[in-house]
Chain A
């Protein structure tokens, strides 16, 4: 089983490449038991949402300034 540190690497890479079946399975299992990593997963997902919103702002001007 991977450590939390290694799982955060996978959670990051998931945003950049498709994970293998084994990696996805291991990560899902780890997240069941680890609230720190569950929070990290939420944080990483939100970073993706926020950067996308920042980028789109320049085309649609939807972010309050």
Chain B
């Protein structure tokens, strides 16, 4: 692959990079910034691209690191009051699913053929809406774990959280997403 072909292949990835970054950073200009940095870094480091991996794999690896840098930066900033309130709101909503003994108030029911949803364009729109609806900090930890594919220990270290705190946030994210997908896609209730 010539230098010219490589830079063409990298630029062609831009819409996918943006979509990937946007779901996690939840902010259009922040997503554009990391994607811009990524494209620049890929161009500068073109000589490092060995051709062994697919161009997309290589570029996405650069983007993931940029997103982690941004998360690290954000985690050092004080949490906004509105975020604290949203976290508490989700926590309260999830607590309401259980009675005082910790049993289900109303039993969740199985989803019918969830695998088939993966082929449906509309499912992915709902999936992204549900992730975007999570409070910021919960979404960040869940995104690092499931969308960036990081190990829990690594996430705690990057964000300066205790392991048990990470588990609490992941549990909250999963119950929240389960609830959202049940209501908005699988038609429970």
Contacts and interface: CB of A to CB of B under 8 A. Distances in A.
7 contacts: A3-B101, A4-B104, A12-B171, A39-B109, A52-B146, A55-B147, A59-B57
A28 interface: no
B118 A50 contact: yes
Contacts of A65: 121, 124
Contact of B119 (A8, A17, A64): A64
A4 B98 CA distance: 8
Interface of B: 16, 20, 54, 56-57, 60, 98, 101-104, 107-111, 114-115, 117-121, 124, 127, 145-149, 152, 166-167, 170-171, 174-175, 177-178, 181-182
Interface string A4-18: 111011001101110
B119 A55 contact: no
Interface residues of A, number: 37
B127 A54 contact: yes
A59 B60 contact: yes
Given A48-B146, A58-B20, A42 B121 contact: no
Given A43-B178, A59-B56, A16 B170 contact: yes
Contact of B118 (A38, A48, A49, A55): A49
Nearest to A45: B114
A36 B147 contact: no
Contacts of A64: 119-121, 124
B152 A5 contact: no
9 A-B pairs closest in CB distance: A3-B102, A36-B107, A51-B146, A5-B102, A12-B171, A36-B104, A39-B108, A43-B178, A46-B114
B110 A47 contact: no
Given A2-B102, A49-B115, A63-B124, 13 more contacts: A4-B104, A5-B98, A8-B175, A9-B171, A16-B145, A43-B111, A47-B177, A47-B178, A50-B117, A54-B147, A55-B149, A59-B54, A64-B124
A51 B54 CA distance: 21
A2 to B, nearest CB: 8
Given A3-B101, A39-B110, A55-B147, A47 B174 contact: yes
